[in-house]
Homo-oligomer: A and B are copies of this chain.
Amino acid sequence: MFKDNEKQASGYRVPLNKALDSLRYNEAGLVPAIARQHDSGEVLMMAWMNRAAIEETLSSGQVCYYSRSRAGLWRKGESSGQIQKLVSLRIDCDGDTLLLDVDQTGPACHTGRRDCFYWRVDGTDVELDKATLISPDQLYGKK
C-alpha cells in the first residue's frame, strides 16, 4: 500500500483498516512509535505498538503502547498518571514507523525527566544533561 501510493498527490486517501493491514510489523508484530510533544517539537520517547495498541490509541485518544518487557498493552500513565493525549498519528513512507503528536502531562520518562533522551554525546564522553521534574518515587506513588 505505502510503496504503491508514494507518488500520489497530497489529499489522496486510503481506508485506515487497509493502512493498518499494510503496516510492516516486525517479527514480533510491532512497529516503533515516536512520541513528540505537539507544540514544542520535543521528542519525548520511542516505544513500540502492535495493532491492538494502535487501535486502542485511536479509539480512546490516549496513547497505549505495547510493553515488550511485560508482554502486554501498556496504557502510558496507568501507574504514573503521566498520560499522553493523542493529537495526531502519522505513518511513514515505508509503513514501518509511527509518529505520534501528543500532549504529555509532566515527565514522559520513567526516571522523572521530561523526555528519555538525556544522554548527549560531548567529545569523548556522553553527558547526562537533563534534570528530573519529579523524583521516580513521587511518580510511582511511593512518596
Number of copies: 2
Q: Is the CB of A93 within 8 A of B109?
A: yes
Does A34 reach chain B (CB closer than 8 Å)? yes
Q: How many residues of A contact B (CB 8 A)?
A: 55
In the assembled complex, which residues on chain B have CB atoms less than 8 Å from the CB atom of A123? 16
Point out residues on A near B: beta carbons under 8 Å: 2, 5-17, 19, 32, 34, 36, 40-43, 45-46, 58, 88-94, 97, 99, 109-111, 113, 116-131, 136
- With A12-B128, A89-B120 given, can you name 6 additional A-B contacts, CB distance below 8 Å? A16-B123, A34-B43, A46-B97, A91-B121, A93-B113, A93-B116
In the assembled complex, which residues on chain B have CB atoms less than 8 Å from the CB atom of A125? 13-16
Q: Is the CB of A90 within 8 A of B120?
A: yes
In the assembled complex, which residues on chain B have CB atoms less than 8 Å from the CB atom of A36? 41, 43
Chain B residue, CB-CB nearest to A98: B117
Q: Residue A2 contacts which of B16, B19, B119, B127 (CB distance < 8 angstroms)?
A: B119
In the assembled complex, which residues on chain B have CB atoms less than 8 Å from the CB atom of A17? 124
Chain B proximity of A132: nearest CB distance (Å): 9
Q: Is the CB of A127 within 8 A of B12?
A: yes
